[in-house]
Structure 1
């Protein structure tokens, strides 16, 4: 269901509920990749929605709502993590953890461990792009908006990540996992 920015601006309660229902669990899962702290992520997601609500009349309608929300959450979490560590975090200094969270049989568990090791060899930014593209189904345009980079950089990061993963025999297991997620195989 498409969210109406005009209805949000006019304080349509149902539209606000729809916005939250459509995106809260996605944002929580995405936030946990950064913070690994349930309370912090839940609070930050809630603060993001409150901030948007408070500023709804002065904000421009985003081209991609999910990307807009992800970018807002990402920036807030990175700022919170900077406060917690009392050190300067550069854009590439954050940790983005991508765990395969499928419950699987013992035979498949070995495959998931291989995939996890494969993903751990990627940079934080590559893991984040792979997660958004292949596990959350975002377009390159949405990913570019989320990460505040250009579309070509997204394509380059994906290409480099895939090239890196192809060096490992476990890449075939990664492909099977992605196919299963998207096509129910």
Structure 2
């Protein structure tokens, strides 16, 4: 269901509930990949929605609501990390962890560990792009908006990540995991 920006601007309660229901879980999962702190992520998501509500009349309609919310949460997390760190922190220094949190049978545990090792060999940015693309289904354009980079950079990061993963035999397991998630098996 597409969210109506006009209804949001007019404080339509049902539209705000829909916005939250459609994106809160996704934002939580995305935020936890950075922070690993449930309370912080929940607080920042709540603050994000409050800020959007308070500034709804001065904000322009985003091209992609999901990408806009993702980028906003990411920026809030980076700002929180900057508050906690006494040495200068660059935006790219923020660690993005991609852990497969699928409850699996013991037989599959070894496969998931191989895939996890494969993903751990990628850079933070590559892991983040792979997560957004293959685990959350964002388009390259939405990923570019989220990460504040151009679409070509997204394509390059994905290409490099896949090239690097193909060197490892575990890549086949990664592809099977992605297919399983896409097909809902």
TM > 0.5: yes
- The 5 Å alignment of 1:151-162 reads 151-162=151-162
1:7 aligns to what SS in structure 2?
A: helix
Q: Return the alpha-carbon distance in structure 1 between the equivalents of residues 49 and 11 of structure 2.
A: 13
Q: 2:23 aligns to what?
A: 23
Q: Distance in 1 between matches of 2:154 and 2:89?
A: 22
Q: What is aligned with 1:133?
A: 133
- Kindly report the root-mean-square deviation, in angstroms, between the aligned alpha carbons of the 2 structures: 0.7
Match of residue 37 from structure 1: 37
State the number of aligned residues. 185
Unpaired runs of at least 5, structure 1: none
1:53-76 CA deviation, whole Å, 9 max, x = no partner? 010000000010000000000000
TM superposition shift of 1:87: 2.2
Is 2:6 the partner of 1:6? yes
| TM-superposition CA deviations, 1:65-103 (whole Å, max 9, x none) | 000000000000010011012222112101000000111
Deviation, structure 1 residue 184: 2.8
SS at match of 1:92: helix
SS in 1 for 2:57: coil
1: CA distance, partners of 2:90 / 2:165: 26
Matches within 5 A, 1:12-161: 12-161=12-161
Shift in Å, 1:183: 1.4
Q: What residue ranges of structure 2 are gaps of 5+ in the alignment?
A: none
Offset, 1:181: 0.4
Normalised by the length of structure 2, the TM-score is 0.99
How far 1:107 moved relative to its partner? Answer: 1.1
C-alpha distance in 2, partners of 1:87/1:26? 31
Moved over 6 A (4+): none
TM-score between both structures, scaled by the size of structure 1? 0.99
* Distance in structure 2 (CA, Å) of the matches to 1:91 and 1:165: 25
